[in-house]
């Protein structure tokens, strides 16, 4: 039985195991998908030695931390600077090579695009981790101007304190790439001035558990379009599965 799985620091919120377990059962695939929590990305080598996985997904906060362990990066992952999918190339002598991919791009773009309106031309990207880098890659591709938002102002971006009525009126897309609001912390939401959210805003939350995050709920209270990250999760998972099963030379 082949082993696949997800590595991250805290995975109690994850739906990935449920998604793949159901897929394997429905399609009679002799494989299992496990959740591998680890205190740091340094645990990757021991995990490989213990489990001999055929493929891994990577989530917060290790999408950048795993890069030094990769022998090769896919072109997209290299441009983004973040990896969420690892493909294994095992050799006859038991050694292996690792190649990093980023399927967050596929999942996010396909989920995000359908709800865009003509006035959605500028975006606030909340958080500066690996997920935000994939989101920024897609926004660049779509020609949407964006600024990062973090606790302290970085690289020409905003701090949360900078977000006043004028900024919120100008940036009508807000994308939460932080873990704020993830189960079990369902009463938390990014520190935005929600009173300035209108029916012209589009709030997209990469968090998918709970189904309706406080971020999305507060946006909808003010008439905004709001969407969670479940469709993105499914899209990136399907893309990961295709990569793990694709014949390719290292």
Q: Which residues are catalytic?
A: 63
Separation in Å, CA 167 to CA 60, 72, 101: 28, 40, 34
Task: Tell whether omega for the bond before 122 is within 30 degrees of 0, i.e. cis.
Answer: no
- Burial track 59-96 (b if 16+ CB lie within 10 A, e otherwise): bbbbbbbbbebbeebbebbeebbbbbbbbbeeeeeeee
Which residues touch 28 (CB under 8 Å, ≥6 apart)?
A: none
Residue 121, both tokens: 């031309």
DSSP state of 27: T
3-class DSSP state of 115: helix
């Amino acid at each position: 039985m082949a082993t696949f799985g997800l590595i991250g620091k805290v995975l109690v919120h994850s739906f990935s195991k449920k998604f793949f377990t159901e897929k394997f059962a429905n399609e009679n695939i002799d494989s299992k998908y496990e959740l591998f929590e680890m205190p740091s990305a340094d645990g990757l080598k021991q995990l490989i030695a213990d489990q001999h996985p055929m493929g891994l997904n990577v989530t917060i906060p290790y999408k950048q931390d795993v890069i030094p362990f990769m022998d090769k990066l896919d072109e997209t992952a290299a441009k983004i600077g973040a990896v969420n999918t690892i493909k294994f190339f095992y050799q006859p002598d038991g050694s292996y090579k690792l190649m990093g991919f980023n399927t967050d791009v596929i999942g996010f773009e396909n989920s995000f695009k359908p709800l865009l309106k003509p006035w959605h031309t500028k975006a606030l990207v909340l958080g500066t981790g690996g997920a935000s880098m994939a989101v920024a890659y897609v926004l660049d591709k779509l020609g949407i101007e964006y600024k990062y938002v973090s606790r302290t102002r970085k690289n020409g971006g905003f701090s949360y304190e900078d977000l006043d009525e004028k900024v919120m009126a100008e940036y009508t897309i807000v994308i939460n790439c932080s873990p704020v609001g993830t189960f079990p912390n369902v009463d938390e939401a990014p520190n935005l001035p929600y009173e300035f959210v209108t029916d012209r805003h589009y709030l997209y939350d990469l968090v998918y558990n709970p189904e309706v995050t406080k971020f999305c709920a507060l946006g909808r209270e003010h008439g905004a379009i709001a969407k969670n990250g479940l469709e993105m999760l499914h899209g990136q998972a399907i893309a990961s599965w295709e990569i793990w099963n694709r014949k390719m030379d290292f």
